[in-house]
Amino acid sequence: MQVSSRSSDWLDRTLAAVRDAGCAVVKDVLSERQLEVTRAAMYRVRDAIFSSVGADRLRRSGELGVLRLMMQFDTHFFSLLELTPMLAVVDGTVSPTATLHLQNGLLLRSAERDPDRAAARPAPPFHRDFPRVLNRYLMSINCMLALDQFTNANGATRVVLASHQQTDPPDLSDLERRAVSIECPVRSMIVFDSTLWHAAGINRSGADRLAINHQFTRAYLKPQIDYVRALGDKTVLGLPEKTQQLLGWYTRVPASLEDYYRPESERLYRRGQG
């Protein structure tokens, strides 16, 4: 299901498709300007992460094309957490108190320019980003921004429709047989239930395929990275309140009795989170 964020019923249709098929595409989520700035920032951050972590360590982890914690390297990435359609989907699925689990830049290189992938792991494996099913209660949602047109040729994400919220894992050949590529225009947002089986495709286009995957969860789950500690109180306090919520400002864990017995208005963990 593909729908433009400019249509009046896009949210209802998106939420219904995510519930029934596990996945939907919302078009026209980023402006041309946001696209241009985000793409340029991703390459700068890629270089900064290379210098900071080291190519060897990234290669050993199979993460040469995965950019984690981009917000620490470029404040532009905070602004993506203010995208109205993305926030509407988060609020409508994992609730207005949800938190960010991850924001990962995905720089899928073309296979012939990526000897690691071509040699060792030609096809990215199918997986679920949230591999637990809790009586079909939605715990986690993904919003992946397409910074290129997604095509079969450049490794569009492959999904197995209606494979979400299943307790028994399907066998691999079944996943391969049922998988469809999410071909969609650049500036779209692919929304999927995080229990949906999916995998990156193989990029054979000769150029990088850029995307940013966001995963949001109910507020009482742990994020992949403790964003408040990683970014620092001063930085987080300078951000809009909704961004603070997403980064876990209202779900910090007290580390002392001093913290625990703060007056309610200053508590690190707000009531009603989740």
Ligand X SMILES: O=C(O)CCC(=O)C(=O)O
Of 73 and 126, which CB lies nearer to ligand X in the complex structure? 126
Binding-residue total with ligand X (CB under 6 A)? 10
Asked if 202 is part of the footprint of ligand X (rule: CB under 6 A), the reply reads no
Asked if 211 is part of the footprint of ligand X (rule: CB under 6 A), the reply reads yes
CA angle 24, 128, 144 (to 5 degrees): 40
Of 43 and 269, which CB lies nearer to ligand X in the complex structure? 43
Of 3 and 108, which CB lies nearer to ligand X in the complex structure? 108
- Shortest CA distance to 201 belongs to which of 237, 254, 153, 246? 153
- Shortest CA distance to 161 belongs to which of 153, 170, 152? 170
Beta-bridge partners for 102: 215
Q: Which two tokens stand for residue 271?
A: 């009531």
Asked if 200 is part of the footprint of ligand X (rule: CB under 6 A), the reply reads yes
Which x/- pattern over 124-153 shows residues binding ligand X (rule: CB under 6 A)? -----x------------------------
Which residue from 38, 99, 140, 157 is in contact with ligand X, where contact means CB under 6 A? 157
Return all residues near 54 (Cβ < 8 A) that are at least 6 apart.
none
Q: Order of strands, edge to edge, in the sheet holding 23-27?
A: 2-4, 23-27, 189-193, 140-146, 209-217, 99-108, 66-67
Q: How far is the CB of 169 from ligand X (least distance, A)?
A: 16
- Shortest CA distance to 101 belongs to which of 83, 82, 121, 81? 81
Point out which span in 90-98, 159-167, 196-204, 236-244 binds ligand X (CB under 6 A). 196-204
Asked if 103 is part of the footprint of ligand X (rule: CB under 6 A), the reply reads no
Residues engaged in binding ligand X (CB under 6 A): 104, 106, 108, 129, 157, 198-200, 211, 213
